[in-house]
C-alpha cells in the first residue's frame, strides 16, 4: 500500500475526509469494536456507495447490522452463497 494514500483510523473518524464509494469493514476482534466502527463508517459511505461487512457470522453481529441498516435506510444482502469458507465466515453487503 502506498503511504501517501493511507489514512489513520483516528484521522478518518476525526476529520472531514469526504465520502467513499466502497468501504471494506473488517475492523476489530470483538463485537464492541466492530459495532462502534460501523457506526462511524456508515456516514462515510457516498449516496451510491456500498459497504462490505466481513465476518458477519461472528458475535451475533447479523442482528446488530440488520438493525443499524434499517436505522440508516440501507439495504443489506448476504454474500454467504458466494463467499462462505470452510470456517463458516462470510460477508454482507450494505447499499443505499
In this prediction, residue 17 carries a pLDDT of: 84
59's CB contacts (< 8 A; 6+ apart) are 30, 31, 34
Residue extents of the structural domains in the chain = 50-96
Per residue in 50-94, pLDDT (tens digit) is 999 998 987 778 999 999 999 999 999 999 999 999 999 999 999
Residue 2's pLDDT is: 62
For residues 83 and 2, give the distance between their C-alpha atoms in angstroms, rounded to a whole number. 28
Q: What's the whole-model pTM score?
A: 0.85
Amino acid at each position: 500500500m502506498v503511504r501517501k494514500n493511507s489514512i489513520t483510523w483516528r484521522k478518518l473518524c476525526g476529520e472531514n475526509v469526504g465520502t467513499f464509494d466502497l468501504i471494506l469493514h473488517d475492523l476489530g476482534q470483538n463485537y464492541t469494536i466492530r459495532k462502534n466502527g460501523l457506526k462511524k463508517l456508515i456516514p462515510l459511505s457516498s449516496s451510491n456507495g456500498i459497504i462490505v461487512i466481513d465476518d458477519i457470522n461472528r458475535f451475533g453481529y447479523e442482528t446488530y447490522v440488520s438493525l443499524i441498516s434499517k436505522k440508516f435506510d440501507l439495504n443489506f444482502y448476504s454474500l454467504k452463497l458466494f463467499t462462505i469458507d470452510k470456517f463458516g465466515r462470510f460477508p454482507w453487503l450494505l447499499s443505499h
